[in-house]
């Protein structure tokens, strides 16, 4: 019934077509989570029209209902095996994570992202053969729910899916040619765009010979000349490499959406507030100029989703400490720097009504012997986030005693300021004076009530699907 109503709206022309826009990725891998309703208000205050989620978090989807914000819901790679092998599981996933939130006053879900960079080289093909079967099953589930004409399936790809020394020679990796051909044919037949994540920062971080100015949008002393085309920034070069790769498959005009792009503000050399502001503002200005790229003049990407909305202090640091610092806002919804998203506000607006813990911090006591504190610091930082202390981080230069205090306080705030968590065998003490130094900010936690339930609810969804399948198998014996 729901899908039929939406289909009728579309036939009558009451549903607006998707427009090119600047959106954001909203990740929730954080120790200090804001209430989803607070984040939705933050999106609305900043007039951000589109948001990309990495999973179907019930609390987040409920908060987005009635907001008018267009939503992309993600499916983790770990679910691809189940969804690719079981049409029933796909039906259940769509029912629980899409249909349940739509309808009048509901969430405006426009896309479902099937997997997250499933073709990444480092996965060694682990998910490669699951993608198309999962997509086919999910598409049939959307058809059954009468949602297939409204909601599009996409696959966020990493830029390592294609390769070339020059943009015009771009091609998908040989082992991906067959599956990319199938994927692109599917996307084209269903009116869906190709989605790619592009990270000039990682090119710079991973390659010491990469020209730093080529990563930005302010001109370069190392342009790339490709025939008659000259590239002055890494984004255009990377984008046109994809355009060429799609062209080799016969789909050179396929719409492209940038699923992730951004610049971290801390945790590594080159990851700082200044660079993040220059990159993100340069990107937005470049895209909204509608100049396009040499291979697609006057035709910029269909949409761009900035990575990311908020810092995520609990993310894995395996790629680097910068992983926890991609947000244009800090974990508590406070803007890190002035940024004009081109959406009506000239600067970012901070989150409102954030509920903080009391203004107190845990620091090293004056008598602390730094020689006896190493183990306590190691324990604190193994639980809490100390990535700003790393080389290149904003707190790297605050001295040995400052490092100890930062580690103690990070742990203390994570423990919701439990006084016992500032003991450290008598080495820590609580202070009401902010110990922040320069750009090094000693955080105060937020009193998050209720959002911790979302993880268990997502796990519950997995069990619902698994239990249903087990019951089905028993009755089929």
Q: What is the pLDDT of residue 175?
A: 97
Cβ 336 vs Cβ 265: under 8 Å: yes
Q: How confident is the model at residue 15 (pLDDT cuts 50, 70, 90)?
A: very low
Structure confidence at residue 20 as a pLDDT band (50, 70, 90): low
Rounded mean pLDDT, 219-228: 96
Confidence at residue 13, expressed as pLDDT on a 0 to 100 scale: 34
Residue 369 is predicted with a pLDDT of 75
Q: What value does the mean pLDDT take over residues 423-447?
A: 96
**Which tokens belong to 461?**
């969804």
Indicate the pairing of strand 156-158 with strand 152-154. Answer: unpaired
How far apart are alpha carbons 97 and 391 in whole angstroms?
A: 41
Angle formed by the axes of helices 177-189 and 131-144, nearest 10°: 10
CA-atom Rg of the chain in angstroms:
24
Half-sphere exposure at residue 215, Cβ-oriented, CA atoms within 13 angstroms = 25
Among the listed residues 119, 106, 94, 20, the one whose alpha carbon sits nearest the alpha carbon of residue 63: 106
Average pLDDT over residues 146-168: 97
Give me the chain's average pLDDT, please.
91
16 has a pLDDT exceeding 70 = no
For strands 194-197 and 256-261, give the pairing: parallel
Q: Which residues contact 5 (CB under 8 A, 6 or more apart)?
A: 103, 104
pLDDT for residue 342 is more than 80: yes
Q: What is the pLDDT of residue 360?
A: 98
**124-141 per-position pLDDT tens digit:** 999 999 999 999 999 999
Q: Among residues of the chain, what percentage have pLDDT more than 90?
A: 87
Q: Over range 67-92, report the average pLDDT.
A: 98
Q: Which whole number is the average pLDDT over 276-302? A: 95
The pair phi, psi for residue 43, each rounded to 5°, is -60, -45
Look at residue 356 in the predicted model and tell me its pLDDT. 97
Quick one: how far is CA 143 from the chain centroid?
28
pLDDT tens-digit map of 24-52: 999 999 999 999 999 999 999 999 999 99
DSSP lists the bridge partners of residue 297 as 292
Taking the whole predicted model, whether its pTM rises above 0.95 is answered as no
More confident residue, 170 or 470: 170
Give the start-to-end residue ranges of the domains of the chain. Answer: 2-324, 361-431
Residue for token pair 């920062």: 201
pLDDT of residue 454: 42
DSSP tag of 139: H
Res 469: pLDDT:
55
Please state the rounded mean pLDDT for residues 424-444. 96
What pLDDT score does 470 carry? 52
Render pLDDT for 344-389 as a digit per residue (tens, 0 to 9). 999 999 999 999 999 999 999 988 777 779 899 999 999 999 999 9
Q: What pLDDT score was predicted for residue 284?
A: 96
* Helix/strand/coil for 114: strand
Q: Give the DSSP letter of residue 171.
A: E
Confidence of residue 6 (pLDDT cuts 50, 70, 90): very low
Instruction: Specify the range with the lowest mean pLDDT, choosing from 78-92, 410-424, 439-453.
Output: 439-453
Task: Specify the pLDDT at position 17.
Answer: 39
Q: Is 308 a residue whose pLDDT tops 70?
A: yes
| Secondary structure of 83-112 as H, E, C letters | HHHCHHHHHHHHHHHCHHHCCCCCCEEEEE
Could you give the C-alpha distances from 116 to 55, 65, 75, 79, in angstroms and in order? 10, 24, 7, 11
Average pLDDT over residues 53-71: 97
Over range 308-328, report the average pLDDT: 97
Q: Is the domain defined by 2-324 classed in CATH 3.90.1150.10?
A: no
CA dihedral in degrees (375, 379, 382, 385; nearest 10)?
-100
Using the predicted structure, report yes or no on whether residue 190 has a pLDDT greater than 80: yes
Which positions are annotated as active-site residues?
Answer: 117, 260
């Amino acid at each position: 019934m729901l899908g039929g109503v939406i289909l009728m709206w579309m036939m009558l022309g009451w549903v607006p077509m998707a427009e090119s826009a600047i959106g954001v990725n909203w990740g929730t891998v954080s120790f200090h989570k804001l209430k989803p309703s607070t984040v939705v208000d933050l999106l609305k205050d900043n007039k951000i029209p589109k948001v990309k989620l990495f999973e179907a978090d019930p609390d987040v989807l409920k908060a987005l209902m009635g907001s008018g914000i267009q939503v992309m819901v993600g499916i983790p790679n770990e679910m691809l095996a189940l969804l690719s092998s079981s049409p029933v599981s796909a039906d259940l996933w769509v029912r629980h994570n899409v249909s349940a939130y739509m309808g009048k006053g509901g969430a405006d879900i426009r896309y479902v992202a099937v997997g997250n960079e499933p073709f990444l080289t480092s996965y060694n093909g682990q998910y490669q053969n699951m993608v198309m079967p999962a997509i086919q099953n999910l598409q049939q589930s959307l058809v059954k729910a009468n949602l297939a004409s409204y909601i599009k399936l996409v696959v966020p790809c990493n830029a390592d899916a294609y390769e070339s020394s020059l943009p015009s020679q771009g091609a998908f990796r040989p082992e991906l040619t067959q599956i990319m051909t199938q994927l692109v044919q599917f996307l084209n037949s269903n009116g869906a765009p190709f989605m790619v994540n592009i990270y000039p920062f990682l090119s710079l971080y991973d390659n010491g010979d990469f020209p730093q100015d080529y990563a930005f949008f302010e001109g370069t002393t190392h342009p790339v000349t490709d025939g008659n085309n000259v590239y002055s920034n890494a984004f255009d070069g990377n984008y046109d490499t994809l355009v060429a790769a799609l062209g080799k498959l016969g789909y050179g005009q396929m719409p492209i959406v940038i699923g992730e792009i951004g610049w971290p503000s801390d945790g590594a050399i080159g990851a700082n507030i200044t660079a993040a502001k220059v990159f993100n503002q340069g990107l937005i200005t470049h895209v909204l100029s509608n100049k396009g790229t040499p291979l697609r003049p006057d035709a910029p990407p269909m949409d761009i989703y900035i990575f990311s909305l908020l810092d995520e202090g609990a993310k894995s640091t395996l790629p680097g400490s910068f992983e926890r610092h991609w947000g244009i806002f800090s974990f508590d919804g406070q803007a890190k720097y002035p940024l004009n998203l081109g959406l009506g506000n000239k600067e970012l607006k901070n989150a409102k009504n954030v509920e903080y813990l009391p203004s107190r911090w845990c620091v090293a006591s004056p008598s602390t012997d730094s020689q006896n504190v190493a183990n306590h610091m190691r324990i604190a930082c193994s639980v809490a986030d100390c990535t700003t202390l790393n080389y290149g981080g904003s707190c790297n230069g605050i001295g040995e005693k400052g490092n100890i205090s930062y580690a103690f306080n990070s742990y203390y705030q994570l423990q919701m300021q439990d006084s016992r968590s500032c003991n450290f065998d008598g080495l820590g003490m609580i202070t009401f004076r902010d110990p922040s130094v320069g750009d090094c900010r000693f955080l105060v936690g937020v009193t998050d009530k209720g959002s911790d339930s979302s993880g268990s609810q997502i796990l519950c969804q997995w069990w619902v699907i698994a239990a249903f399948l087990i019951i089905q198998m028993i009755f089929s014996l």
